[in-house]
Amino acid sequence: MPFTTQPNTVPTSSKAGVLTGLITLDRIRCDIAISSQKRLLEELAILLVEHSTALDKDTVFRVLIERERLGSTGIGAGIALPHGRLNGINECVAALIRLKQPLDFDAPDQQPISLAVALLVPAEASGEHLQTLASLAHLFDDIERRNDIINAVDAVTLLQLFTSTIPG
């Protein structure tokens, strides 16, 4: 099944592909060995700026770190959703890292994370930001889908799981 990507595509229902239009194969990394929360955020910043002249790695990293200082973006069940709003961008962008070894991320359930999905949105896009985060959180509420994502064999499978329609 071919994927279509459209700029500024945001899920309008929980059944839509959550990251369709926001993530590309080159912004997904699987089985990466990372030993600290700071290093994970740095790697996510690198992925978020990949192939973009509008984004600066240091600025993106700073935005992710500043948001994390407000409270952990670990949501539980092995998942973290680092995110932030950024001036100077016109569309949302996402990146995903699945870790080789679980990493402590101060999640509310005290469980280490295995997957981090980072999201950047334009500074003025508060509603879009919240809607996308809510859609991601809803996606991970489905235990079967969450397990499929955490256990996906490769980046292509991860992309398919995030951009396909949620059953039901």
pTM for this entry: 0.84
Task: Note the Cα 41 to chain centre separation in Å.
Answer: 11
Dihedral of alpha carbons 80, 97, 30, 134, sign: positive
For 25-162, the fitting CATH number among 3.40.50.620, 3.40.605.10, 2.60.40.10, 3.40.930.10 is: 3.40.930.10
| 30-59 pLDDT tens trace | 999 999 999 999 999 999 998 787 789 999
Which has the higher per-residue pLDDT, 4 or 21?
21
State the catalytic residue, choosing from 51, 83, 129, 138.
83
Contact 74, 40 (CB under 8 A): no
128, burial (CB in 10 Å: exposed 0-12, middle 13-18, buried 19+): middle
83 as an active site residue: the answer is yes
**Which stretch, 57-61, 133-137, 142-146, 159-163, has highest mean pLDDT?**
57-61
Contacts of 26 (CB under 8 A, 6+ apart): 50, 51
Q: What's at 136, amino acid-wise?
A: L
